[in-house]
Amino acid sequence: MTTPRTSLLITLTGRDRPGVTSRLFGVLARHPLSVLDVEQVVIRGRLVLGVLLGCDPAPDLTGIHAAVSALAADLGLEAEITTGSGSVSGDVASRGALLHVTLLGSPLAPGAINAIAGRIAASGANIDRIGRLAQQPVTCIELDVSGGDPAMLREDLARAAVEHGIDVAVQRGGLHRRALRLIVMDVDSTLVQGEVIDLLAERAGCADEVAKVTAAAMRGDLDFTASLRERVALLAGLPAAVLDEVRTGLRLTAGARTLISTLGGLGFKSGIVSGGFVQVIGPLAAELGIGYVAANELEIADGKLTGRLRGAVIDRAGKAAALRRFAADAGVPLSQTVAVGDGANDLDMIAAAGLGVAFNAKPVVRDAADTSLSVPYLDAILYLLGISSDDVADAF
């Protein structure tokens, strides 16, 4: 039997000033609480900040109430604390934020928000609005921030994110994000779990040898094209029918179908680029409704793989070229594209896109991308685009 949890709704109202959010979550971080929802609005200098928290059935209400009340008195604010169940909802207004700061965690603890809010305040920036985009299986809240330097804030918040085990994205505000219209993804270890060539190697009896080369190539330790040809050569003699077997056995990354369906429902175009093989991922793209595909082609003769490739290799430069080709065909400027990948051969594509996302990526990719995700759910990319879980439900 599941023990019901208690919820606390804390509301602060009064004259806004820098550091309110940071100090509140600093107080809350001293108690075993989880953040369920956050809403903040500032209108003509007046602040309304609401935080919905989950806690054990018998929380230290006296201690929490005393601490929050003391903080409110020190800041010249009014505080209200209510217990029970429910959620914070409703439309809130913004006062012209310049940046979107997106926080994702599972769980998202008060201490993490305290650290992020504190660094925003320390930079001289102000949080104008806070809203929740998702609660399960990942909690995601978004802050509209004004007065901050994007590059400095991105670097500072990235360090705080690592310290607290969460993901943080900093993006320009305004119409920039709303204009994003094309999302292009890597396939192996991004759209699908694992590497297709490793699955083929298992059937060819050379799994260990190929896996070692694959891992080194994805880290950027080896030239991708040379390493790919080396691995493909080991597949010579494998029956072509194995390609269909591997395709039917592919496992999509959690959230992949939701991501692609939602983007399609909202009018986005999508594409995949892969150093893998079109014979495997082409049918998968058709099944998912992905409009653009670029991948390598395995040479087949007499019903067997020859151990060679046909045509130009889709490598690091080839992926970026495919992104540009897809964008031109869709009539979308590169500044309105999103590229998602995990390996070193995705770096050029990520650099060329308007928004580059490292998804559970190698360190070299995380360092180069605009933002990174460490959660195992591909549909978390939607939150970086400002698409909430409610928007996802409405898209179906």
pLDDT digits (tens, 9 = 90+) for 261-277: 999 988 899 999 999 99
Cα–Cα separations (whole angstroms), residue 228 to 206, 211, 217, 218: 14, 11, 9, 11
CA 24 to chain centre: 27
At the topology level, CATH places domain 6-174 in Alpha-Beta Plaits (3.30.70)
Extents of the domains making up the chain: 6-174, 182-395
**Distance separating alpha carbons of residues 59 and 273, to the nearest angstrom:** 51
Longest dimension (CA), the chain: 82
Looking at residue 92, its pLDDT comes to 31
**Distance separating alpha carbons of residues 53 and 390, to the nearest angstrom:** 20
Place of tokens 């994205």: 169
Q: Would you say the CATH fold of 182-395 matches that of 6-174?
A: no
CA 175 to chain centre: 20
Our CA dihedral for 106, 388, 153, 99, rounded to 10 degrees, sits at -170
Tokens of 379: 């549909």
Residues 298-324: what's their mean pLDDT? 95
R_g of the chain computed on alpha carbons: 24
Residue 89 has pLDDT above 50, yes or no: no
Q: How far apart are the first and last CA of the chain?
A: 33
Residue 10 has pLDDT above 80, yes or no: yes
Looking at residue 94, its pLDDT comes to 35
Which has more pLDDT, 327 or 98?
327
Residues 11-18: what's their mean pLDDT? 90
Q: Kindly list the catalytic residues.
A: 186, 188
Residue 184 has pLDDT above 80, yes or no: yes
Tokens of 302: 């007499």
Residue 86 binned pLDDT confidence (cut-offs 50, 70, 90): very low
Q: Which CATH number, 3.40.50.150, 3.30.470.20, 1.10.3720.10, 3.40.50.1000, labels domain 182-395?
A: 3.40.50.1000
If you average pLDDT over every residue of the chain, what do you get? 88
By percentage, how much of the chain surpasses pLDDT 70?
92
By percentage, how much of the chain surpasses pLDDT 90?
62
Looking at residue 175, its pLDDT comes to 57
